[in-house]
A = this chain, B = another copy of it.
Amino acid sequence: MEKIVIDYTNMMSESIGVHGINDDDFISVKGDIERAVKRITDKQLMFRRLPYENIDKIVEYGKYIRSNFKNFLVLGIGGSALGPKAIFKSTCGRYHNEYKIDKVPLPKFYFEDNVDPDRIYDLINTIDLENTCINIISKSGKTIETLSQMMIFIDALQKLKPDSWTDNLVFTTDKDNSVLLDIGKKYGIKMFYIPQEIGGRYSIFTPVGILTAAVCGCDIHSMLKGARDMNELCNNEDYTKNPAFMYAVLQYISMKRGKNISIMMPYTDSLKFVTDWFSQLWAESLGKKYDIDGNVVNAGQTPVRALGSVDQHSQLQLYMEGPFDKVVTLIKVDKHRYKMPIPTIFEDSSELKFLCNSSLNKLINSELEAIIYALTQNGRPNIVINLPSLDEYYLGQMFIMLEIGTAFAGYMLNINPFDQPGVEHGKISTYALMGKEGFEERRKSLEITNKIKFLV
């Protein structure tokens, strides 16, 4: 199996000196690794079984959407948006919606994951709603942002096509208990289901991600094959031969040594939204107040989304000279989709001559090599995830490798990587402020917190 490779040479003290990891560090976390291995190989871990499911019906419906609609609009937030967006952007690129329609016979794509009134106003006044398929995603069916958007778009559809508004809708939700389920059944709306055991951030291989993949022309079978192959490789209990485990172990040791910031920086725009997806996975899975024994631990490492080479001109100064509180994960793609030559022009200038007859392909990977070298020379820990190409097969590998790695890191930290108790507090307050029944008490306590204000 050809596979993505993790190069952790520059995490080691041999390369970077005092801020590097050595054998003693690995030995010191042996017990934590053993515990994590036991848990992650549990056959009940549903998210690892997803790439083996039959997806024919979703793929078929994706084809139907593709040939019957000009636009595909996803309404969802968090795990309901980040996976689909990562798949779409890594498959179709940045300028997809602006291609002349005859060049790419695919719908235009829109992912609405916010309730900014200006953004929704702009969209609803821009999009040709009659020819838009709207995929509304919320597992619980309680996501206030998605429900509000849904109300706005269904209302507009009903006015536009009173007799056939349901034709433009697909719901993706829980099979047993969800407002979307109720509405979907009542009006006969097309529905796909998210398995009960799967939380939003681990849902990329459920209909949440797969339907978008099917509409955008991604080679899903190859992606899932990649995920399966990597999943099987990650059954290896020896962490030194298991990329997901190794990634987690390196970060875990780093956290213990005060590196509370984890940067992910792909050297290609196509993977920019993969870092967004991963940031949720890492932050929400590991950021926990209690460990599973009930001790207060305030665990977690803050993910930072970066992009090469753009952020060399923004964040690199800090990464090179600031505090030693970071691990940088660089993502390298050996072969981009296209060759983009730099022409021979203005060759009389010494600033330009050496660029003549080169290529952006060579340039972007030279920049990456240069930064690896620079970080390493400055004693800064860095990991390289190497993809042979942007092929879906490797993307599938990367998605599940990062999922397994995240869960593994959670088990090493002895926390639950699958819950998110800390976001309830804000949800309840939002209900209270919006006047939902049953939240009157919170509303009162919100009202009396306006004590003295410090303003300038």
List residues of chain B with CB within 8 A of the CB of A114: 269, 307, 309-310, 364
The answer to whether A284 and B314 touch across the interface, beta carbons within 8 angstroms, is yes
Q: Residues 410-435 of chain A: 1 if any B CB is under 8 Å from the residue's CB, otherwise 0?
A: 00000000001111011111111111
Return A136 CB to nearest CB of chain B, in Å.
Answer: 12
Binds B, one of A49-57, A61-69, A235-243: A235-243
- Is A176 among interface residues, defined by CB-CB distance under 8 A? no
29 contacts between A and B (CB under 8 A): A5-B455, A9-B452, A93-B119, A94-B119, A94-B122, A95-B123, A114-B269, A115-B367, A116-B364, A117-B337, A117-B359, A120-B360, A151-B346, A152-B360, A154-B346, A179-B352, A240-B456, A241-B456, A261-B261, A276-B314, A284-B315, A289-B320, A300-B323, A302-B318, A302-B322, A321-B421, A363-B434, A367-B426, A370-B446
The answer to whether B145 and A309 touch across the interface, beta carbons within 8 angstroms, is yes
The answer to whether B317 and A283 touch across the interface, beta carbons within 8 angstroms, is yes
The answer to whether A321 and B298 touch across the interface, beta carbons within 8 angstroms, is yes
Binds B, one of A28-36, A38-46, A217-225, A371-379: A371-379
Q: Closest B-chain residue to A270, C-beta based?
A: B118
The answer to whether B302 and A147 touch across the interface, beta carbons within 8 angstroms, is no
Q: Closest B-chain residue to A113, C-beta based?
A: B310
The answer to whether A429 and B374 touch across the interface, beta carbons within 8 angstroms, is yes
List residues of chain B with CB within 8 A of the CB of A154: 345-346
Given known contacts A183-B346, A370-B430, A317 and B116 CB-to-CB distance under 8 angstroms:
no
Interface residues of A in 344-403 (CB under 8 A from B): 345-346, 349-356, 358-364, 366-367, 369-371, 373-374, 376-378, 390
Return A138 CB to nearest CB of chain B, in Å.
Answer: 10
- Is A126 among interface residues, defined by CB-CB distance under 8 A? yes
Binds B, one of A74-82, A166-174, A189-197, A207-215: A74-82
Given known contacts A7-B454, A423-B313, A436-B354, A116 and B369 CB-to-CB distance under 8 angstroms:
no
> Which of A155, A307, A433, A435 has the most CB atoms of chain B within a 10 A radius of its CB?
A433
Interface residues on A, range: 35 or more
List residues of chain B with CB within 8 A of the CB of A242: 456
The answer to whether A148 and B323 touch across the interface, beta carbons within 8 angstroms, is no
The answer to whether B243 and A12 touch across the interface, beta carbons within 8 angstroms, is no
Complex Cα distance, B427 from A127, in Å, reads 43
Given known contacts A151-B346, A246-B456, A317 and B423 CB-to-CB distance under 8 angstroms:
yes
The answer to whether A117 and B340 touch across the interface, beta carbons within 8 angstroms, is yes
List residues of chain B with CB within 8 A of the CB of A369: 429, 433, 446
The answer to whether A302 and B317 touch across the interface, beta carbons within 8 angstroms, is no
Return A232 CB to nearest CB of chain B, in Å.
Answer: 15
